[in-house]
């Protein structure tokens, strides 16, 4: 039985196209930033307003930093900060759920 590749592995070739010398932990962190960016993009259409702003921030920072020349410690801090932003966005969404499409306000 073979192990499933991690979702971030599909981003490694993209990183290597732009940063050919990237390897090991650095490559993994950069690939995870791109995965985080894509998950934020996918979640934004159904996010409440407060959550949307945090996910927009995650998308912009992850896109920029995945390809920017940074030390691995800076990449780790960036990823940790973005994980906290995603967690906060999730909390906003659980407190302020968006109405399902087609659902109307009870007053109207």
Total domains in the fold of the chain? 1
Is 100 within a domain?
A: no
Q: Residue 106 above 60 pLDDT?
A: no
Is 106 within a domain?
A: no
Is 51 within a domain?
A: yes
Q: Which of 52, 15, 46 is nearest to 30 (CA)?
A: 15
pLDDT digits (tens, 9 = 90+) for 14-49: 999 999 999 999 999 999 999 999 999 999 999 999
Is 1 within a domain?
A: no
Is 102 within a domain?
A: no
Q: How far apart are CA 25 and CA 31, in angstroms?
A: 10
pLDDT digits (tens, 9 = 90+) for 77-92: 999 999 999 999 999 9
Contact 47, 94 (CB under 8 A): no
Q: Which domain holds residue 56?
A: 7-95
Neighbours of 21 (CB within 10 A): 7
Is 31 within a domain?
A: yes
Is 64 within a domain?
A: yes
Is 21 within a domain?
A: yes
């Amino acid at each position: 039985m073979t192990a499933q590749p991690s979702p971030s592995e599909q981003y490694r070739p993209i990183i290597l196209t732009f940063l050919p010398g990237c390897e090991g932990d650095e490559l993994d962190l950069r690939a995870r930033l791109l995965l985080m960016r894509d998950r934020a993009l996918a979640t934004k259409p159904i996010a409440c307003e407060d959550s949307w702003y945090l996910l927009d921030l995650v998308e912009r920072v992850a896109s920029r930093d995945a390809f920017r020349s940074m030390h691995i410690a800076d990449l780790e801090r960036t990823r940790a900060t973005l994980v906290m932003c995603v967690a906060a966005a999730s909390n906003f969404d659980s407190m302020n759920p968006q109405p399902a499409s087609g659902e109307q306000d009870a007053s109207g």
